[in-house]
Structure 1
Amino acid sequence: MHYLACIFIMILNGCKNESNATTETSVKTQTVAETESENAIDPSVAGMWQDYIASNPKFEGQEIPESDFFHNNRADANRLAELTLNGKKKASSGLYSLYKYYQVALPKVGTKQIVTDFDGKAVAIIENKRVDTIPFNQISEDYAGLDMGTDVEPLEKWKKAHWDFFENFLKESGGEPNEEMLIVCVIFKTVWPAKH
């Protein structure tokens, strides 16, 4: 089930800051400790969030965002993380019916997420800028380019990759892909590291 969630949604692996902490230092220390021990996520996730907060103090006290990787295998997850880090990948696509099937809330504008490689090491922080639900057969060339991180035949590549991918997961839930299936289209911006 985890790899399904990794593909379509960034599942919450972060933790909440303790509200009873007496000092800023203890809050940061407890957050890192909680993150590492309770959720067994890579320490780089909490470290990246702390670096982001240090440069953006207005977000001090906010929860560590969800962290996860794109796709379901090492090669694709690492490739997509690199494209995100380089600012080439600026969108992600999920199957609306799977959000419903797994009773997971749709992504929201303004939500930040920590993108990791396949091993869970933090690579970048992204922020959702736009969320739309669009039928598969109405995905635009521009959107496909943002999702695929390329301008070389992006729509053809997007359709082939996503049709095959969604087909495999729909089989598990007893469905079949069709041209009208709804896609949750998230356009995001890489906000950390701050080189974009």
Structure 2
Amino acid sequence: MTEIQMWNEYIKINKNAKNYEAWSFGGNTPDMPDLLAELVLRGIKTATASAYPCYVAENAPLPPVGGYNLILNTKGEAVCITETIKVYTIPFNQVKEEHAYKEGEFDRTLTSWRKCHSEIFTMELKEIGQEFTEDMLVVCEEFKVVYPII
């Protein structure tokens, strides 16, 4: 299903939904975006994290609470729609075990979350001429799947 087809299906059941951001997850392997999208669709992954300096570099706003995200796979096909329910910034080294668990990746521990995300953030920050640090701010976002209804 295309992004527009899925959105049109969703607004039939939620007439208050006005707009959305379409995106796919990043990752340090080519298949990671699809794996993460599947975890979201199955209700396992209910959170994500981004490097705050990337928002600053792009002069981009943080995800709004109540905002809709149309999650895409690596082929650009629509997988699901989520609604953001919580957004906060926190230093990388202060992210809690609870957040790591909600991200649903690997063994869902903070140790594996930190290892994976430090690698990803290092790559992303290098692209904007910055370096990863343990105390850099991270944008933590929590969401729920609103379509398809699971």
2:118 is aligned with 1:160: no
2:57 is aligned with 1:57: no
> Are the equivalent residues in 1 in contact too, given 2:100–2:109 (CA < 8 A)?
yes
Structure 1 residue aligned with 2:51, among 81, 95, 119? 95
2:115 is aligned with 1:115: no
Check 1:77–1:155 CA distance in 2 against 1; reply closer, same or farther (3 A cut).
same
1:1-196 to 2 correspondences below 5 Å: 44-59=2-17, 62-63=18-19, 65-72=20-27, 74-147=30-103, 149-150=104-105, 152-195=107-150
Check 1:56–1:174 CA distance in 2 against 1; reply closer, same or farther (3 A cut).
closer
3-state SS, counterpart of residue 176 of structure 1: coil
1:27-75, Cα deviation, whole Å (9 max, x unpaired): xxxxxxxxxxxxxxxx62111111112222343xx23x12110015540
Q: How many residues align?
A: 149
Distance (Å, rounded) in 1 between the aligned partners of 2:146 and 2:125: 33
Q: Which runs of 5+ in 1 are unaligned?
A: 1-42
**TM-score, normalised on structure 2?**
0.92
Corresponding residue for residue 24 of structure 1: none
1:108-165, Cα deviation, whole Å (9 max, x unpaired): 1000010010111000000100000000011111101111x15835211110011011
3-state SS, counterpart of residue 80 of structure 2: strand
Q: Which runs of 5+ in 2 are unaligned?
A: none
3-state SS, counterpart of residue 122 of structure 2: helix
**TM-score, normalised on structure 1?**
0.71
- Look up the equivalent residue of 1:171 and give its one-letter code: K
3-state SS, counterpart of residue 57 of structure 1: coil
Whose radius of gyration is greater, 1 or 2? 1
Check 1:151–1:174 CA distance in 2 against 1; reply closer, same or farther (3 A cut).
closer
The ranges of structure 1 where at least 4 consecutive aligned residues each deviate by more than 6 angstroms after the TM superposition are none
Distance (Å, rounded) in 2 between the aligned partners of 1:151 and 1:173: 28
1:156-182, Cα deviation, whole Å (9 max, x unpaired): 111001101111222233322111110
Distance (Å, rounded) in 1 between the aligned partners of 2:36 and 2:106: 15
- Look up the equivalent residue of 1:109 and give its one-letter code: V
Q: Which has the higher helix share?
A: 1
- Look up the equivalent residue of 1:119 and give its one-letter code: K
